[in-house]
Amino acid sequence: RRRCVPSRHRVSATRVRCASRASGDDVPGVTLRRGVPSDADAIRAGVLRESMNPLGLDPTRFVVAVDEARGGEIVGFGQLKPWETLSDRPKDDVVGQVVRLLNLTPNWSGELLELASLVVTKERRGVGVGTAVARRLVTDAKTAEARPPTLCLLTLRSTIPFYERLGFEEIVSPEYVPRPLQAELALGRVVARLARNDECVAMKMDWEKT
């Protein structure tokens, strides 16, 4: 599934738990595992192929789908990107001071995570690989903290039904889009219109649906 251009200003503060290997949610021959540093080249190549932003691709944040029959070839992946709450920085931190001065405190609750970089190779699309990866990421997000985080994503309007089946809903009012995602959303709308003749939208997980 393609999504809009991701932002580059992220931190890897959240440790997401994932079983080292697990069957790919009823996708025959596919296994899900945690990404490792040696996956970096394959992940970057897949992201570039889909015209996504190649920055912020820490392999250890990824869930990777591999084809066991092809020697563990990567056939899909996705990641959870944590956003730093800048207003929580120490009192002597300049960036934190500016954020607090401008009253740019979080307009979300708990940890802010973005489901991002969801890619499936063309030959394995339509068989559930993307759904399996996305579901694992949602499960990881839900179990990573004591309480469910704010889990958001940016995607094309044409892919909304895919994410709605996972429990996401569109954020209709711009003021409810988490501030760190607002600039990315604005850029994504331009890119989506020019490159895909589509619209970039923000979505948020409704945990009551999961």
Q: What is the pTM of this model?
A: 0.81
Q: Which residue has the higher pLDDT, 152 or 148?
A: 152
pLDDT of 146 above 80: no
- 208: pLDDT strictly greater than 80: yes
For the chain, the helix, strand and coil percentages under 3-state DSSP, each to the nearest 5 = 40, 25, 40
Query: Would you put residue 72 in left (φ > 0), alpha (ψ -120 to 50) or beta?
Result: left
Per-residue pLDDT of 158-171, as tens digits, reads: 999 999 999 999 99
Reduce the DSSP state of residue 28 to 3 states and report it. Answer: coil
What mean pLDDT is predicted for residues 94-100? Answer: 59
Residue 25 has pLDDT above 70, yes or no: no
Average pLDDT across the chain, whole number? 84
Interval 65-92 mean pLDDT: 85
Q: Residue 26: pLDDT above 80?
A: no
pLDDT at 103: 62
Question: What's the pLDDT band for 16 if we cut at 50, 70, 90?
Answer: very low
- If we measure between CA atoms, which residue out of 171, 76, 37 comes closest to residue 114? 171
Residue type, 207: W
- Which residues are CB-neighbours of 41 under 8 A, at least 6 positions away? none
The residue that leads in pLDDT, 80 or 188, is: 80
| pLDDT value for 18 | 46
pLDDT in tens, 173-206: 999 999 988 888 898 898 889 888 999 999 999 9
Measure the CA dihedral 122/126/128/131, to 10°.
80
What's the CA angle centered on 60, arms 131 and 136, to 5 degrees? 25
CA pair distance 168, 151, nearest whole angstrom? 9
Contacts 24+ apart (CB under 8 A), 11-14: 11/82, 11/83, 11/84, 12/58, 12/60, 12/61, 12/82, 13/82, 13/84, 14/80, 14/82, 14/111, 14/113, 14/144, 14/145, 14/149
Record the tokens describing residue 148, joined without a space: 């469910």
Average of per-residue pLDDT across 56-61: 94
Strand partners, 202: 154
Is 167 within 8 Å of 161 (Cβ atoms)?
no
At 128, give phi and psi (nearest 5°): 105, 5
Check residue 105 and report its DSSP letter.
-
